[in-house]
Amino acid sequence: PKLPERWGWATMPQLGELNRGKSKHRPRNDKKLFGGPFPFIQTGQVRESEGTITKYSQTYSEFGLQQSRLWPAGTLCITIAANIAETGVLKFDSCFPDSVVGFLIADDEVTTRYVEYFIRTAKEKLERFAPATAQKNINLEVLKAVAIPLPPYAEQIQIITEVDRHLSIIREITSTIDTNLIRAEHLRQSILSQAFSGNLLCRNGAKHQQSLQSKSEAVIL
């Protein structure tokens, strides 16, 4: 499609380093890989990150690090197995397996967050490249071929700010809906509990009696 004036197209390899994570040792659950000081994330942490990876549940030992790679904070992580094109930017140095791709921008005129947001928009298209198997996956070459529409740096910042603002509103709405759904479920359970303990009919009977009494008093007046 035609781009606005001063925009251009670029692939991720043109903007920086794009490589798969490493986890060479087998079996992957070997105990000597874990328990050290080096954070280790997998596709689940990327999927749950909502764009920013702030926590991890496993760490690599020195042995684990030797068969992997420690990516720096600021790396854009993109999943290519099980969950396709889930994204998150690392807030800490971390290792990850080859089911996650790391992208490190080398161009000062491009922001990592802008690329992260764009990959979200391309998620559905990228999923089409995944074979129809029990566990979906795509290869690195598919990501290398993704063309990213790039505005000038200042415009990228404006776009990010506006997207952040709208996503914040959506999160607030979602939180309100979730809270109301929880309240509705509690109310539903309360009504069912009262119905099968005899309290619901008693309560309705009392309300009916109060209503009749009010009507009688009104007639007398």
Average pLDDT for residues 29-45, to the nearest whole number? 97
pLDDT digits (tens, 9 = 90+) for 131-144: 766 578 899 999 99
pLDDT band at 59 (very low <50, low <70, confident <90, very high): very high
Assess whether the previous peptide bond of 13 is cis (omega < 30° from 0): no
| CATH code of the domain covering residue 58 | 3.90.220.20
Which one is predicted more confidently, 94 or 135?
A: 94
What are the start-end ranges of the H helices in 48-139? 62-66, 112-127
Looking at the DSSP bridge assignments, the partners of residue 81 are: 83, 137
Q: Which residues pair with 83 in a beta bridge?
A: 81
Report yes or no on 165 lying in a domain. no
Structural domain range at position 178 = 172-220
Report the amino acid identity of residue 67: Q
Domain shared by 191 and 83, yes or no: no
**Can you tell me the distance from the alpha carbon of 89 to that of 111, in angstroms, rounded to the nearest whole number?**
11
194 and 143 part of one domain: no
- The mean per-residue pLDDT over the stretch 176-196 comes to 86
Domain count, the chain: 2
Residue 24 is predicted with a pLDDT of 94
